[in-house]
Amino acid sequence: MDRYKQISLNILAKVLDLPSSKDEMDGSMVWSYFQQGRLEEIYKYCMKDVELVRQVYYKMTFETAP
């Protein structure tokens, strides 16, 4: 058994009954958005992931957000 298997943030969110951070953009699109100068959209995409990681942390540690 491979003990270093990875799970996507999106799947983890689904398992923990949290909303996905993915909508019109995903990680595969970041480079092309960067090349097009669409930095604000990249920023928003990343911030959604950061917030989701925060929610996952609180859910897994049984804490509540401040």
pLDDT, residue 2, reads 66
4 by DSSP, 3-state: which? Answer: coil
pLDDT, one tens digit per residue, over 17-56 is 998 888 888 889 999 999 999 999 999 999 999 999 999 9
pTM confidence score: 0.77
Tell me how far the alpha carbon of residue 25 is from its chain's centroid.
11
The full set of domain ranges for the chain reads: 9-61
Q: How confident is the model at residue 1 (pLDDT cuts 50, 70, 90)?
A: low
CA distances for 20 relative to 35, 56, 66, angstroms: 26, 11, 21
